[in-house]
Structure 1
Amino acid sequence: MLKTFTKSMLLLLMLCFTVLYAQAQSIIISGSVIDKLSRSPIPGVGITVKGKTVGTSTDQNGKYSFSTTEKAPFTLVISYLGYTSVEKQITGNTSGLDIELEQAAILGQEVVISASRTPERILESPVSVERMGQATIKEQAAPSFYDALNNMKGVEISTQSLTFKSINTRGFNSNGNTRFNQFVDGMDSQAPGLNFAVGNIVGINDLDVDNIELLPGASSALYGAGGINGTMLMTSKSPFDYQGPSFQFKSGINHVNDNNTDVQPYNQLDVRLAKAWNNRFAIKGTFSFLQAQDWQADNFTDFDRVARKVKPGDRNSDPNYDGINVYGDEVSQNMRNVAQSVLNAGTSGFVQAALGLLAPPSAAQIAAFKAGPGGPLLTNFLSTNATMRPFYAGIQNPALLPSQNVSRTGYNESALVDYKTQSIKASGSINYRLTKTIEAIAQIYWGSGTSVYTGSDRYSLRNFSIGQYKLELKGQDFFLRGYTTQERSGDSYIASILGSYINEKSKSSTDWFPQYVGNYIGAKSLGATDAAAHAAARAVADQGRYIPGTAAFETAKNQVLNTTISDTNFKTGAYGAKFDDKTNLYHYEGMYNFSNLFNNVVEFQLGASYRLYQLRSNGTIFNDKNSEIDINEYGSFAQLGKKFLDDKLKLTVSGRYDKSTNFDGRFTPRITGVLTVARDNNIRVSYQTGYRNPTTQNQYIDLSVGGGSQRLIGGIPKLLDQYSLYTNQAYTDVSYRAFLASAAAGTPNPALLQKYTFDSRGVRPESVQAFELGYKGLLGPKFLIDAYGYYNIYKDFITAVDVYQQNPNDGSFTKFGAPVNATGKVTSYGAALGIDYLLRDYNLSGNISYNNIGDIPADYINDFNTPKIRYNLGLGKKELFKNVGFNVNYRWQGKFFWNSSFASGEVPAFGTMDAQVNLKIPSVNSMIKIGGSNVLNKYNFTSYGNPAAGAIYYVAYTFNP
């Protein structure tokens, strides 16, 4: 025992002397690293001994300290992405070694996560990926980072209003884009009742954006349903790495030289606060408020909703005028049908009185009465009665009453929609680091506001709000998260229904149309021309019509706005255009990266997710007036990657399986390869598959639109059965138009009507196979090139069909719009090229994209909705002269045809320029920016039926950007 103790003491003493000797020989280095321009500390800077792995990194305050046994003298390398590296020679112990790093553009060295769900250099990404980092965001030539997305290669934006914009890539653009996924800190930011992201109404504050990564093309193998055309990941700043207060105030103007209104103010305030303690506990909060006057939709082109095309004419020349941004004029009836309805009612009343019946007579009783002795008496009544006589004369003489449709007089959108745009956003998080690599996060995003968006109608979103609430545990190799999205419609409503119901409150259509037809016949009988007769008829029928701005109009408007759609009752005079949507989404997912367990010989990941949609609209959107609707979705994925040929070739195989309540399970594979042909030069090839389930609305919508002239219904068998579309088959829109044409010619031919057969399975998920070949490389340190070509094959493409179902009782037709799958395949193809070049500290950038649609089935309504050619040109410099920088971006796109359920027409080609000049004030860590979007003020629109947008000019002051 004594010997053992003695040996242990001697060993301990030797160890102490060794440690003391080592400490005596160690060199200790400490100091801080700051940004040369802003003088602010830089966290996470790498500090290493040149040629060695010895080193450390700066903490959140930019400070560092470490020791090394390296013999002096040696060289210390200080490096950080986006800054020029600095080398310092060390001759011995050094304290207070403060380093200033200068920002520099380092092309192609950014690290991305989205392409493989694991960190990798953007040059080595296996699929196309676009990235926007903090340096770009701070000096963007756009009012917000979301607007600046338009400058990315192949990206296009559909602008429905000032704050509501939809992102898209590679064709099939739409106002509410359900083929593009958008994630904020891992949370799907779609509104669950809409199934698409509502722009950035709820999302990251401009001051809190760390980076944005965008994947054009299919991405279902890694991210699940949706994202069939692209996926965007937005990541906010960590409160550990970015602390302290920041704020930005932006003030400007828009509506310059706008025919609709005077110049209007544009103001926005952004605030961010973050604080960390002991690198273990941190909190942050953000707030944003925007207030402005929105763009006004003023397309008054006459539109044929049956043929889905514009037509010549206006309210004065076309009795059946239906202006695109005019609402209430969608309600239309055929004059001869109106006259016949009046005569039918008169006939029924006469026969009932003549026979002494307690109830209206049946069709058989009326036929028997006409064939019997009462026939002449009925004819005499119809031809001589003051009320019946004009209608009888019109039916007997087509010259007096043509088979002409007439529409009610509508209201311009500006009289119905709230253009006083405002947006309030708030977010916050509590972060706790259990270990150096494991972090627990509780996070919230909430947004509310007033805006306008376009779907099958123009929808005015008033006091609309979405909240997202998340709990997450993440580590270096895993994450577990659960979140919920709570959508609340507030006081939102449908503009076209509002216009129609204001008309109904002033005078019901059952009175208006007979007045119109009767007075038209009267005018024609007196020898008036057709145009004069229509003008006289409308003047009489419109008597008592509520005029915008009057007390009567405002009273009727408020009554309709405060009544929900589902509470509408024509018999009691209750008319409602308001939504009552409280739809929720719950999502749970987890992923583990096993690569480190395999010493990174292979990369292997597993993940799974579960999602629940709770559709709760009280019958104002969905078929849920009398029952609740839940949709469950399950999914799991795996990915395996391996490098070959001395790490010059990397192959990755991925696959995902998903199952939804109403649809069969689906497997989506992905195979990618990246070949390094030279240092920093890589060729990539990929085969990806994607799919999307029919949206919640594709499945369960049950909504009257177009001023009540059409009903949108879900495409699942339950909804089709509810409206007897399997048993009482409806007619195709093409054959219905042919039938109307025959009726207009005076010889209605029912044989022209062709029945439409809905698939017994209802609407099904659509899928895509995407093939891509790309190259990305550095041709020298200052020239980056990125190019790709793609070919997509879509199957079961979800489109829409309009059908007309005949009522067996009275022979009238009801128009239904329902989602269906196109037969056959839809193909699309395209290519893009992007270049970045550094010339004497000037950053020159440019990109061009080409997108086109290929084969399409005969029953597919072409909604590719994308210009063939788009290009962007950019020029900027961080310091034009001391503390002053600038950025200019020019964007152009060719003309194309836009097709949607709301409107169809040509979108003209246009070019627009954004620009900004900034002054940095290092002494107070601030920046002043003067800039504008569309600075040349050339009004343009990105989708047909949406408002034209002009310039926004602004001045912004930012503290601690």
Structure 2
Amino acid sequence: MSKTFTKAIFTFLLFFVAVSAAQAQNVVISGTVTDKLTKEPIPGVGITVKGTTSGTATDNAGKYNFSTSQKAPFTLVISYLGYISVEKQITGNTSNLDVELEQTALLGQEVVISASRTPERILESPVSVERMGATAIKEIAAPSFYDALNNMKGVEISTQSLTFKSINTRGFNSNGNTRFNQYVDGMDNQAPGLNFSVGNIVGVNDLDVDNVELLPGASSALYGAGGISGTMLVTSKNPFDYQGASFQFRKGINHVNDDATSRQPVNQLDVRLAKAWNNRFAVKATFSFIQAEDWHANNFSNFDRAARQFKPGDRSSDPNYDGINSYGDEVSQNMRNVAQAVLNAGTSGFVKTALGLPTDPTAAQIAAFKAGPGAPILANFLSTDPRFRPFTAGLNTPGLLPDQNVSRTGYEEANLVDYKTQSLKTSGALHYRFTPTIEAIAQANWGTGTSVYTGSDRYSLRNFSIGQYKLELKGQDFFLKGYTTQERSGDSYISSILGSYINEKSKPSKDWFPQYVGNYVGARSLGANDAAAHAAARAAANQGRFEPGSAQYEAAKQQIMNTTIASTDFNKGIYGAKFNDKTNLYHYEGMYNLTNALNNVVEFQVGASYRIYQLRSGGTIFNDLNDKIDINEYGAFGQLGKKFFNDKVKLTVSGRYDKSTNFEGRFTPRVTGVFTVAPNNNIRLSYQTGYRNPTTQNQYIDLSVGGGSQRLIGGLPESLNNYSLYTNKPFTDVSYRAFLASASAGTPNPALLQAYNFDPKGVLPESVQAYEVGYKGLLGPKFLIDAYAYYNRYKNFITSVDVYQNNSGTFTKFGVPVNATGEVKAYGAALGIDYLLGKFNVSGNVSYNEIGDLPAGYINDFNTPKYRYNLGFGNKEIFKNVGFNVAWRWQDKFYWNSSFASGDVPAYSTLDAQINLKVPSVNSMIKIGGSNVLNKYYFTSYGNPSVGALYYVSYTFNP
């Protein structure tokens, strides 16, 4: 055992003994909280020491056991949403401190942790924060708590499939959003190799969600890299506090009045078991399974992916048609270039034979042959040989062969991806309490399933799995934890590669395109017009094409989707679309809150973290077939807060330093102020900074796509050097297209080619400076208002470029991540209200987001509607044991821009509703409801499927 490791263990043991000794002096209070009218226990009641952040909550039976280092006497505050708070004077250890709470209208008393990494009332948060508690989750008008996030102020969701959704706030939304952090029980649930947050694929069972807290905007000062657009923390229920068995079964239908398919069933089962013994040892386990037919993506608009703009026409009218949700038609070639390539090959073969050369002739040998007496013989050969005659005629006869690109015939997404959605997720945890406030946790979350995800492509995630495993020791003022994320791609594959390679399997493009051009020229020579000639040419070239549903098609599909990308060998006819990702992440973190040790004179916290990415894709995503790729990241933060002027003003200063293997160290500060202008009325001001490292793929991807027509590579200098892009400089996409146009016209002009110069430092982290002013307050006990305005300045946005490199006369296309030049500014505001009208809850919010002037050449990917509205209306018990909730949502139209597809997302509105019946005799609830109950199909981001209604009925035991 190394000396360093021994010292670390010894230090940890000393720390643990010291904390345990300190806890031995604590004051311990226990008791039960019940409803004054019904005498029933109330779970989740907040128990806090007045004037401090020390606190706990009642368990499912209304019981609590609480220990604090606060010196007696002190005041204990017992509070719960909808009840009048009670204060109790504590003089020492107290047992059986039972409290009855009286119902009333009381808002804004929830306790949040995410905003400052320490407990505080949501009214006193220094930054904007949204919260959803366990009580609200039981009665939401949505199929799951994850879907209900859309009703929060300023929050939007991009839906890629039934079980895969991305969350965003404050603009720059994207599929698989890497600018938004998601933590589940303190674990980052972003897939470390595939780079998307797995959302609730491997998340928390609805029955096990204790609360969700969401921070809009930058949060790097407290949470490190990422989170430029926001951070969300999902916390599961502690088995000490929520014991017993619960289960929920939901039966539903979707695809109602869907042109793509008939009505389909949706089945879901959730189970949770928890048990504690002697307030020392507790265990819990959860299980969730959903099975359904996914939403179908069927946007077949004609799209120019290189120019990111639409084209008129469809497959029957545009020879170069490229449908958004059809794949294989991305492979395209210029007809005149094809003809010239065929003639070049014929010339090379003729000269080789004529001169008796052992290998193909060089350009100089061909030129010398043409300059001599062989030229007329060669010309006669190319114009009379039936293999080359159409191409010679096409190039030499004016108007016979157009300067026109044609694409291969693609396959619709429904024939390529697996829409049979399944999601299975399980979790288990062991908890042991050394003292009432020091707890050890061993936790495992694992999930697997089949879904569809949109990135730069549409990915069919089949039998994808991800596991997260954590060990944690936490106390009232500290935590130490380590966890690992184990990602396994299973049988997942890329749909466009599958479509392209089925085409290649049926007929290689090197044969298909010459057949197309030759038959086009033949048809035109016989008097056919352009449209008829194209139709005849496609029909001829498509002879032998594998049609969906045929035995040949299914055999090719199965072979390609089960062969890895790295195994692809065009020369041997081996094609693979499967990626084989087994990337792991290891994360270690600790934090200590010194506030109590400093007698609450100031609030002071420190923390540190260390993270390792182990990229392991077997050469299918990264250039790691023969070399292992590891990335190390470490960071530390501190936060100091102090109240002034009789606690009317609280100022907090935070700062964090982070360093990654491939990038320079970065310091991210935060300064906040909260000003109490009246009881329960606070104004907040903040300056925050955030940054995001390029993703693991931005750094190290090395992948051939598009039927071998393009290579995606990372933006690090070593990746660029691997392909000599610094020395053999490539050309810009625009200039290369201009050069091709000149070549097709018969006068190639190399002067049109413009070099692209990559930054010597490669791709760099992007960053934001965020300014916010907000107000949150109670205008009487029944009316809560929350408003904010923000202004953000972004630098070094990570985008991508397509470039073309000349290698001995052959141009290779590369897609490379780079930083956009110039500064981008965005601003916005939001207003939310909650009003208690008797027993009815009325809520609503409006959000406004806008992007400022853009730098020249910047591709606008703000991807956010200018206005969004939410309205909610409900009653927990409109009649005895009967409650309901309704949520209406509307958003403005906007333009969506991504590497996959770009286009207008129309404005839409949707209505979610549920009515529930509580059955106290069997401790159960029956809920009937639906999302998008009016069944108005809509889509949230361009190229993704349209979403219709989902109607359901569910039965929940022990909710």
Aligned AA for 1:673? G
Which residue of 2 is the match for residue 622 of structure 1? Answer: 622
How far residue 31 of structure 1 moved from its aligned partner, in angstroms, is 8.6
Aligned-partner Cα distance in 2 for 1:261–1:880? 38
How far residue 84 of structure 1 moved from its aligned partner, in angstroms, is 2.4
- Residue 834 of structure 2 is aligned to residue 814 of structure 1: no
Aligned-partner Cα distance in 2 for 1:802–1:215? 35
How far residue 740 of structure 1 moved from its aligned partner, in angstroms, is 4.3
Which residue of 2 is the match for residue 954 of structure 1? Answer: 952
- Residue 83 of structure 2 is aligned to residue 84 of structure 1: yes
How far residue 861 of structure 1 moved from its aligned partner, in angstroms, is 1.4
Which residue of 2 is the match for residue 73 of structure 1? Answer: none
- Residue 859 of structure 2 is aligned to residue 896 of structure 1: no
| Contact 2:433/2:440, CA 8 A, preserved across alignment | yes
| Contact 1:581/1:617, CA 8 A, preserved across alignment | yes
How far residue 434 of structure 1 moved from its aligned partner, in angstroms, is 0.5
The secondary structure found in structure 2 opposite 1:191 is coil
| Contact 1:605/1:640, CA 8 A, preserved across alignment | yes
Aligned-partner Cα distance in 1 for 2:97–2:598? 40
| Contact 1:254/1:263, CA 8 A, preserved across alignment | yes
How far residue 135 of structure 1 moved from its aligned partner, in angstroms, is 1.6
- Residue 556 of structure 2 is aligned to residue 556 of structure 1: yes
Question: Percent of aligned pairs with the same residue?
Answer: 79
How far residue 82 of structure 1 moved from its aligned partner, in angstroms, is 2.5
Which residue of 2 is the match for residue 938 of structure 1? Answer: 936
The count of aligned residue pairs is 916
Per the alignment, do residues 684 and 522 of structure 1 end up closer, same or farther by CA in structure 2, a change over 3 Å counting? same
| Contact 2:825/2:852, CA 8 A, preserved across alignment | yes
Which residue of 2 is the match for residue 119 of structure 1? Answer: 119
Which residue of 1 is the match for residue 650 of structure 2? Answer: 650
Aligned AA for 1:880? I
| Contact 1:183/1:233, CA 8 A, preserved across alignment | yes
Give the TM-score of the pair, scaled to structure 2. Answer: 0.92
Which of 797-806 and 509-518 deviates more? 797-806
**Alignment map for 1:546-945 (pairs within 5 Å):** 546-742=546-742, 748-810=748-810, 813-945=811-943
Per the alignment, do residues 352 and 251 of structure 1 end up closer, same or farther by CA in structure 2, a change over 3 Å counting? same
Aligned-partner Cα distance in 1 for 2:565–2:785? 53
Structure 1, unmatched stretches of 5+, are: 1-28, 67-75, 90-94
Q: Cα RMSD over matched residues?
A: 2.5
Deviations 1:49-105 (A, max 9, x none): 99xxxx999676446899xxxxxxxxx99954125249899xxxxx99998767666
| Contact 1:181/1:196, CA 8 A, preserved across alignment | no
Per the alignment, do residues 57 and 465 of structure 1 end up closer, same or farther by CA in structure 2, a change over 3 Å counting? closer
| Contact 1:567/1:575, CA 8 A, preserved across alignment | yes
How far residue 140 of structure 1 moved from its aligned partner, in angstroms, is 0.4
Which residue of 1 is the match for residue 431 of structure 2? Answer: 431
Which residue of 1 is the match for residue 322 of structure 2? Answer: 322
How far residue 30 of structure 1 moved from its aligned partner, in angstroms, is 11
Aligned AA for 1:317? S
Aligned-partner Cα distance in 1 for 2:502–2:36? 63
Which residue of 1 is the match for residue 345 of structure 2? Answer: 345
Aligned AA for 1:840? G
Deviations 1:389-426 (A, max 9, x none): 11111111241111111000000000000000000000
**Alignment map for 1:109-508 (pairs within 5 Å):** 109-508=109-508
| Contact 2:47/2:79, CA 8 A, preserved across alignment | no
| Contact 1:306/1:737, CA 8 A, preserved across alignment | no
The secondary structure found in structure 2 opposite 1:597 is coil
Aligned-partner Cα distance in 2 for 1:277–1:404? 76
Aligned-partner Cα distance in 2 for 1:470–1:785? 38
Deviations 1:898-941 (A, max 9, x none): 11111111111100110000111111111111000000101000
The secondary structure found in structure 2 opposite 1:666 is strand
How far residue 259 of structure 1 moved from its aligned partner, in angstroms, is 0.3
| Contact 1:457/1:705, CA 8 A, preserved across alignment | no
Per the alignment, do residues 311 and 587 of structure 1 end up closer, same or farther by CA in structure 2, a change over 3 Å counting? same
How far residue 755 of structure 1 moved from its aligned partner, in angstroms, is 1.4
How far residue 747 of structure 1 moved from its aligned partner, in angstroms, is 5.1
Aligned-partner Cα distance in 2 for 1:482–1:871? 40
Per the alignment, do residues 405 and 839 of structure 1 end up closer, same or farther by CA in structure 2, a change over 3 Å counting? same
How far residue 195 of structure 1 moved from its aligned partner, in angstroms, is 2.9
Aligned-partner Cα distance in 1 for 2:57–2:447? 37
Aligned-partner Cα distance in 1 for 2:506–2:37? 66
How far residue 479 of structure 1 moved from its aligned partner, in angstroms, is 0.2
| Contact 1:330/1:709, CA 8 A, preserved across alignment | no
Aligned-partner Cα distance in 2 for 1:65–1:502? 64
The secondary structure found in structure 2 opposite 1:726 is coil
Structure 2, unmatched stretches of 5+, are: 1-28, 67-74, 89-94
| Contact 2:919/2:925, CA 8 A, preserved across alignment | yes
Aligned-partner Cα distance in 2 for 1:388–1:102? 93
Aligned AA for 1:845? S
Aligned-partner Cα distance in 2 for 1:185–1:338? 57
Aligned-partner Cα distance in 2 for 1:64–1:304? 62
The secondary structure found in structure 1 opposite 2:857 is coil
Aligned-partner Cα distance in 1 for 2:940–2:101? 42
| Contact 2:785/2:834, CA 8 A, preserved across alignment | yes
Aligned AA for 1:566? A
Aligned-partner Cα distance in 1 for 2:415–2:324? 14
Aligned-partner Cα distance in 2 for 1:874–1:148? 11
How far residue 805 of structure 1 moved from its aligned partner, in angstroms, is 2.2
The secondary structure found in structure 1 opposite 2:571 is coil
Aligned AA for 2:334? N
**Alignment map for 1:30-45 (pairs within 5 Å):** 33-34=33-34, 41-42=41-42
How far residue 46 of structure 1 moved from its aligned partner, in angstroms, is 7.6
Aligned-partner Cα distance in 1 for 2:692–2:49? 51
Which of 397-406 and 425-434 deviates more? 397-406
| Contact 2:65/2:436, CA 8 A, preserved across alignment | no
Aligned-partner Cα distance in 1 for 2:764–2:77? 56
How far residue 795 of structure 1 moved from its aligned partner, in angstroms, is 1.3
How far residue 804 of structure 1 moved from its aligned partner, in angstroms, is 2.2
How far residue 707 of structure 1 moved from its aligned partner, in angstroms, is 4.3
Deviations 1:586-623 (A, max 9, x none): 00000000000111110000000000000000111111
The secondary structure found in structure 2 opposite 1:725 is coil
Aligned AA for 1:141? A
Aligned-partner Cα distance in 2 for 1:706–1:893? 35
Aligned-partner Cα distance in 2 for 1:104–1:509? 73
How far residue 337 of structure 1 moved from its aligned partner, in angstroms, is 0.9
Aligned-partner Cα distance in 1 for 2:849–2:394? 54
Per the alignment, do residues 551 and 220 of structure 1 end up closer, same or farther by CA in structure 2, a change over 3 Å counting? same
Aligned-partner Cα distance in 2 for 1:934–1:743? 53
Aligned-partner Cα distance in 1 for 2:951–2:85? 39
The secondary structure found in structure 2 opposite 1:517 is helix
Aligned-partner Cα distance in 2 for 1:110–1:96? 25
Aligned AA for 1:800? S
Aligned-partner Cα distance in 2 for 1:61–1:240? 10
Aligned AA for 2:895? F
Aligned-partner Cα distance in 2 for 1:59–1:190? 31
Aligned-partner Cα distance in 2 for 1:584–1:366? 54
Aligned-partner Cα distance in 2 for 1:59–1:148? 25
| Contact 1:642/1:651, CA 8 A, preserved across alignment | yes
The secondary structure found in structure 2 opposite 1:348 is helix
The secondary structure found in structure 2 opposite 1:307 is coil
Deviations 1:508-548 (A, max 9, x none): 11111110000000001111100000000000000000010
Deviations 1:210-237 (A, max 9, x none): 0000000100000000001100000000
Aligned-partner Cα distance in 2 for 1:783–1:651? 27
How far residue 711 of structure 1 moved from its aligned partner, in angstroms, is 2.0
Aligned-partner Cα distance in 2 for 1:48–1:399? 85
How far residue 746 of structure 1 moved from its aligned partner, in angstroms, is 5.8
Aligned-partner Cα distance in 2 for 1:84–1:678? 21
